[in-house]
Amino acid sequence: MTSDVGERVSVPASEDRYIEFKSRLLTSVHLRTERRQQLVAQMKSRLMEGNGVAVYVLGVDDDGEVSGLSEVELEESLAVINSLAAECGAKVRKVERFSTERGHMAKVVIERVADSPRNHLTVGIAGHVNHGKSTLIACLVTGERDDGTKWLYMDTLPHEISRNLSADLHFTVLGFRGGKPLFLKAPRDRQEKSRVVREAEKVVSIVDTVGHEPWLRTTIRGLLGQELDYGLLVVAADDGPTHISREHLGIMFGSGLPVIVCITKVDKVGGRRLEEVRDEVSRLIKRVGRVPYPLRDRSDVDVVVDKVNPVVPIVEVSSATRQGFDLLYDLLAILPPRPKKLNGPFLMYVDRVYNVEGAGTVVSGTILQGRLRSGDSLLLGPDNKGGFTEVRARSIEVHHSKVEEASAGQLVGIAIRGVPHNTVRRGMVLSDSEVRLRAVRRFDGEFLVLNHPTRVATGYEPIFHCHTIAQSVKTLVHNEDFVAPGEQGTATFSFKYRPEFVREGDVFVLREGRVKGIGRITRVLDDS
């Protein structure tokens, strides 16, 4: 927005769609029923065109000529703007006041704010490459059949598209209202995701992980770092369970995650082959003491919905024909979220860091515990020396929808003030000051060796994964010379490069190429 000596205001063409000039707004005129309805419709249109943001310039005529306002008129106009914004599900975020020779002006920034969804769960999708994870998710959230291109709705990096495989985590959302799914009309459109969050009574955040073995660390980050409610393993009927399927299933079971299995591509095989795959999947589930339960109709969904953990529902689907999708919707619509620590102090592990124009440093992740309100003061760290920095949460988004408050279990983006983005890294925590923050270099843990060509002994240096932390650790095995595959052991682990924030009870994975072990932290130690 520019001003010529306070006499005329113009805006760039790119901003013209969501900036509105108003000479004055009077309660006696503009809040009358018919005129109010017109202004509300106009503001909603501006918010939609501005992707949830609208800018009103008060004290300026429609043609850009500065008319000016008295102080009383300006305050009354601001009160009208606040009233209209509330009716649009928005709030006034910023008011800039100016004085000119003709009177006062104001630039008012309005942002749409959704109610944070109370009924919310997060589901992580895993499985072997080309078993149909991204296609399943794309068809699930759009309500469409697969035509061979639906996976493009999820894979967005250029090298992912050129190679036809996922190489990073991708996120999307499925909403339910009245038990029925709310579909995304344009699955990559931020406004569409925001619309689903606003309209849904229940929100399912979906994390699409990576099936290609070289990116196993990314899959572990998706399964451990997103604080999932449920894990969903995808197994293609024409391929059956593979070593990657078993590895992903082992991570889910080892971390205590309730699991659902989807057998995909059932349209590509006959009944005999489908039965073989179903039996093989069931044997894998029984081997760890869980109960496989194939879903045939809605009555089966009602039977298992409150038993998912000892019971593993198995759904047979085809993205090409949409066979089995209604059962999957029925299950997701009524699955309860896992218990969350809503009343504790806020804590979130940082998963991604962005430098966003106009917002500055933005971090994303899943809230582990507590609640966060826009404007709250937080601590961020640890840095390489174990220190924590005070920051402020400027704004919060849930799937690109602005919210005033977010709580445990929700995937959020948080714009923070107080640190440059290049000093923030994955694995840091954002926390309320009430959390006892202590970065440590050493901890004790108990672990089970799942897969190793020889044995785990003192001096072993795997990659340690916990929440979104990924760092090499040195191992000091207790009491035994070594721990063989299939055996349990205890050890002291030391971070190799920098201290991290971990707590007793945290689940971790040890990886060296493939997953070697899974365990739990039993005690954090002083660095002395």
Query: By C-alpha distance, which of 58, 136, 56 is closest to 93?
Result: 56
In the DSSP assignment, the letter for residue 440 is B
Whole-angstrom distance, CA of residue 81 vs CA of residue 20 = 12
Strand-pairing partners, residue 114, are 403
The answer to whether residues 283 and 246 touch, using CB atoms and an 8 Å cutoff, is no
- Quote the mean pLDDT of the chain: 88
Q: Which amino acid is at 439?
A: A
3-state secondary structure 108-134: EEEEECECCCCEEEEEEEEECCCCCHH
* Confidence check: pLDDT of 159 > 80: no
Q: In this predicted model, what pLDDT tens digit does every residue of 212-240 receive, in sequence order?
A: 776 788 888 989 988 899 999 999 999 99
The answer to whether residues 336 and 306 touch, using CB atoms and an 8 Å cutoff, is yes
Q: In this predicted model, what pLDDT tens digit does every residue of 500-521 receive, in sequence order?
A: 999 999 999 999 878 889 999 9
- Here the tokens at position 271 are 């009944």
Is the CATH number 3.40.50.300 carried by domain 347-431?
A: no
Instruction: Label residue 91 by pLDDT band (50, 70, 90).
Output: confident
What kind of architecture, by CATH, is found in domain 119-334?
3-Layer(aba) Sandwich (3.40)
| Alpha-carbon distance values, 230 to 97, 185, 249, 289, 332 (Å) | 49, 25, 12, 18, 10
Position with higher pLDDT, 348 vs 170? 348
Q: In this predicted model, what pLDDT tens digit does every residue of 320-361 receive, in sequence order?
A: 999 999 999 999 999 998 888 888 899 999 999 999 877 789
Q: Determine which helix (DSSP H) or strand (DSSP E) holds 303, and give its type and residue range.
A: helix 298-304
| Domain 2-112 shares a fold with domain 442-525 | no
Domain ranges of the chain: 2-112, 119-334, 347-431, 442-525
Q: How far from the centroid of its chain's Cα atoms is residue 109's Cα?
A: 27
pLDDT of residue 150: 66
- What would the CATH number be for the domain defined by 442-525? 2.40.30.10
pLDDT of residue 112: 79
pLDDT of residue 419: 93
Place of tokens 């002994």: 457
Is the CATH number 3.40.1390.10 carried by domain 2-112?
A: no
Position with higher pLDDT, 13 vs 498? 498
Position with higher pLDDT, 286 vs 528? 286
